[in-house]
Amino acid sequence: MSLAVQRTDFDRYMVPVFNPLEMILVRGEGSRLWDQQGRDYIDFGAGVAVTSLGHSHPALIKALHAQAARLWHVSNYFTNEPALSLARKLCDATFAEQVFYCNSGAEANEAALKLARKRGVDKHPEKVEIVAFNGSFHGRTFFTVSVGGQPKYSSGMGPTPPGIVHVDFNDIEAVKRVIGPKTCAVIVETVIGEGGILPATPEFLQTLRDRTKAHDAVLIFDEIQSGNGRTGALYDYMNTAVVPDILTTAKGLGGGFPIGAMLTTAEVGNHFKPGSHGSTFGGNPLACAVAEAAFDIINDPVFLAGVRAKAERAAAALRAIGERHGCFTEIRHAGLWFGCELASSLANRAGEMVAKGAGNGVLMLLAGPNVLRVATSLIITDAELDEGLRRLEKTCVEMVG
Ligand SMILES: *Cc1c(COP(=O)(O)O)cnc(C)c1O
């Protein structure tokens, strides 16, 4: 029998791009996880807003098992039933008329940005400029880190692709200045996620819509984290008055099974032709079957109303904790997606708080050094929520000392 692997094996065998916490999680059910030693944790991170239906959801297990016994992979020389069935549902439920599948958020944005460039160049060779926002996050491929508004992710790796302009998020005057005839696309998160749960203002989104329309550029909404029920709507654009030309989705789409998708209109999508872009695994039958099962649960008005109700309950509780202990100055949220701004006495200690929380049996996220991020599953029970909040509060008490 081989010895169980341990955290030290990470340092020994893994490329050091991550610095994981000490414990190794081995099992999950609902919003609870267990480590190798049998200690339990309340999941307030959902694998970074991915496991939206919790762990071991029976409908997802059933879909995965059924598809696993039928067909795993056929390549894109063929299409397949789960891919078509999910695409039809995504188009029926949204503005979109066409879907491109891939395996992650970054790949969905890569497809969106390439498509927008292709459409721009089809119209004029100089129509290549992409407008993006400081503080935004769009993934880790070289194109997407370059478009993302956090230079730390693209620096130290040589020249970045040209034709990308960054301005401040929610700065209406700046976007009026930079969007012009050379703009092929504007890419924006409707709520900045990694950068701190910062919502776009309605006027800002409307300005982006008006200016891109006036200059025949595409408006891309990166809904990789905000989509699939997270904000209490199927996609967050449905909470706004603005409809994008391209929407990218991933994280919660497969409930934990890797899948990404780019949704768009036929006018935009038809600028790609066979061979313009591709993916070996995109549209994989296992991924699409699981995502369809997740979609069927989430795309339901009763379910989404439940998300909004749980969100209000959690927001009130987090505000009360902030007030009792002076640990938070503000609780921002969009559905079950919270950014708790740390008090100045706790400046730059979000990472420490996440680690302490894990020690207390609650798994949380950060969004920058001063924001504690909480993203529960969308089906967290009141009992799980209360237990997680109790452990979070204990952590706050320890932090403020
Ligand atoms: C997570 C995230 C991405 C990148 O997704 P990956 O699956 O890690 O490639 C892109 N955009 C946003 C808004 C995200 O939150």
Q: What is the pLDDT along the chain (401 residues), one digit of tens a residue?
A: 567 999 999 999 999 999 999 999 999 999 999 999 999 999 999 999 999 999 999 999 999 999 999 999 999 999 999 999 999 999 999 999 999 999 999 999 999 999 999 999 999 999 999 999 999 999 999 999 999 999 999 999 999 999 999 999 999 999 999 999 999 999 999 999 999 999 999 999 999 999 999 999 999 999 999 999 999 999 999 999 999 999 999 999 999 999 999 999 999 999 999 999 999 999 999 999 999 999 999 999 999 999 999 999 999 999 999 999 999 999 999 999 999 999 999 999 999 999 999 999 999 999 999 999 999 999 999 999 999 999 999 999 999 98
**Are residues 267 and 309 both part of a single domain?**
no
**Are residues 318 and 250 both part of a single domain?**
no
What's the CA gap between 248 and 103, in Å, rounded? Answer: 12
* CATH for 119: 3.40.640.10
Binning the chain into helix, strand and coil, the percentages to the nearest 5 are 40, 20, 40
**Are residues 368 and 249 both part of a single domain?**
no
**Are residues 146 and 190 both part of a single domain?**
yes
**Are residues 170 and 270 both part of a single domain?**
yes
Cα of 67 vs centre of ligand 1, distance in Å, is 26
Give the total number of structural domains in the chain: 2
Cα of 401 vs centre of ligand 1, distance in Å, is 35
**Are residues 212 and 170 both part of a single domain?**
yes
Q: How far apart are the first and last CA of the chain?
A: 45
Q: Which of 29, 139, 128, 64 is nearest to 293 (CA)?
A: 64
**Ligand 1 pocket: which residues have CB below 6 Å?**
104-106, 109, 137-139, 189, 193-194, 222, 224-225, 250-251
Domain boundary among 272, 298, 324: 298
Collect all residues with Cβ–Cβ distance below 8 Å to 111 and sequence separation of at least 6. Answer: 100, 102, 248, 262, 277
pTM > 0.95: yes or no: yes
| Any domain includes 91 | yes
Neighbours of 93 (CB within 10 A): 15
Amino acid occupying residue 245: D
* CATH for 37: 3.90.1150.10
Cα of 149 vs centre of ligand 1, distance in Å, is 13
Residue 116, domain extent = 71-298
Mutate to test the pocket of ligand 1, among 137, 248, 249 (most ligand atoms within 8 A of CB): 137
Cα of 167 vs centre of ligand 1, distance in Å, is 20
| Any domain includes 19 | yes
**Are residues 96 and 216 both part of a single domain?**
yes
| Any domain includes 342 | yes
| Any domain includes 66 | no
Domain boundary among 236, 269, 298: 298
**Are residues 227 and 266 both part of a single domain?**
yes
**Are residues 186 and 239 both part of a single domain?**
yes
How many CA atoms are closer than 13 Å to the CA of 375, on its beta-carbon side?
30
pLDDT at 2: 66
pLDDT at 1: 52
**Are residues 315 and 184 both part of a single domain?**
no
| Any domain includes 393 | yes
| Any domain includes 223 | yes
Domain boundary among 242, 269, 298: 298
**Are residues 142 and 230 both part of a single domain?**
yes
Residue 110, token pair as written in the block: 């890569």
| Any domain includes 338 | yes
| Any domain includes 81 | yes
**Are residues 255 and 384 both part of a single domain?**
no
